[in-house]
Amino acid sequence: MVDTAAEVTIISDTFYNKLSQKPEKKQDIKLRTAGRDLHMSSFATHPLQLQLGSKTYSIPVVVGPIQDDVLLGLDFFVPQGAHLDLTQQLLQIGSDTIEMTLCRSQKVPQVSRITVWKKTIIPPNSVQQLECPIPKQLSDFIIEPRLTSNDLLMPRTYQTGGSVPIVCLVNPSDHQVVLQPRQVLGVAMEIHHVESPSEQSAAVRSGNQPNIPAHLTSLFERSSELLQGHEVHQLAQLHTDYQDVFAKDDLDLGNFTELEHSTDTGNAKPIKQRMRRTPLGFEKEEETHLKKMLDA
């Protein structure tokens, strides 16, 4: 999507998590949106390869919680000397002429400020839930923290549509914090879809995931249940790079020669004991175990 009002190129976090080869994250940033004092938590990445027309461009991107997969911003169009012909609905980049389609979102996500309605005191070393009614009714939404006090902590929360927003405020300091009426705590933003960790993991696994060694498959599946998409990819790469550290079976003991171990027996003399026969009930198990050791 072309957005002439966007200063930077943005890709959605959902689209980013589905990429088989993700550009490396550089730093966390906050994007200013059209609303007054409204921000969007995002992060910048190293350049991403983007094919447009007959050419491939390497451009730095910002990953954020947007609805569309990609928003092409001015940081891409200006250096390329692009021309937009809105009358003919054409995009000219170099020798490429690309047809465009004007579209309008059927439903614009609503936002609302989360503010304190009355003077509130948060005691030291405490956690307090606070109801913050909003003037408009939203469908399912998330609350992004916008705290001005460094003494308070507030997590991002997901809340169901039609409910009165409840924020959780943590005061880890040794002094009380006073919140004044109409003080902004955060921003409520409507969302249309919530991906569960299993959906995100499945989306990543469907891409070009590093081949997980057979002896690590079970460990990988158990370890990635609660991870986000890009975290699953990192875990898979970690297991692949260090697969030789994990034992393939009970007999894969490896060989470590960097340290020597000695046992001080003092003046004790060696002893000798007569051999004892294996009980009949364990003969078959012993033979099986010896065979495994010989075959290893």
Contacts of 67 (CB under 8 A, 6+ apart): 12, 105, 109, 192
**SS3 state at 215:** helix
Q: How many domains does the chain have?
A: 3
The radius of gyration of the chain from alpha carbons, rounded to an integer in Å, stands at 30
Its domain, for residue 289, covers 194-257+280-296
Within a domain: 264: no
- Final residue of a structural domain among 190, 209, 239: 190
Burial-class residue 213 by CB neighbours within 10 Å (0-12, 13-18, 19+).
middle
- Residue 112's beta-bridge partner residues? 188
- The predicted structure's pLDDT at residue 276: 86
Q: For residues 169 and 210, state if they share a domain.
A: no
Rounded Cα–Cα distance for residues 244 and 109 (Å): 49
Structure tokens at 264: 């001080």
pLDDT tens digit string along 154-187? Answer: 999 988 888 889 999 999 999 999 999 989 899 8
154 Cβ neighbours under 8 A, 6+ residues apart: 145, 147, 167, 168, 169, 170, 185, 186
State whether 199 and 175 are in the same domain: no
In-domain check, residue 38: yes
Identify the residue whose tokens are 């994007």: 31
Q: Measure the CA–CA gap between 151 and 148, rounded to whole angstroms.
A: 9
Please indicate, yes or no, whether residues 284 and 186 belong to a single structural domain of this protein. no
Is residue 268 in some structural domain? no
Coil, helix or strand for 14? helix
Residue 106 lies in a domain: no
Whether residue 184 lies inside any domain: the answer is: yes
Hey, what are 73's tokens? 């911003």
Domain match, 62 and 128 both: no
Instruction: Give the residue from 190, 214, 232 where a domain finishes.
Output: 190
Q: What is the CATH number of the domain that holds 142?
A: 2.70.40.10
- What pLDDT, in 10s, does the model give residues 83-129? 877 777 778 887 888 777 666 555 556 788 899 989 999 999 999 99
pLDDT band at 198 (very low <50, low <70, confident <90, very high): low
Which of 140, 160, 190 delimits the end of a domain? 190
At 163 the pLDDT is: 86
Pair 93, 168 in one domain: no
Question: pLDDT tens digit string along 208-241?
Answer: 556 788 888 889 888 888 887 778 888 888 888 8
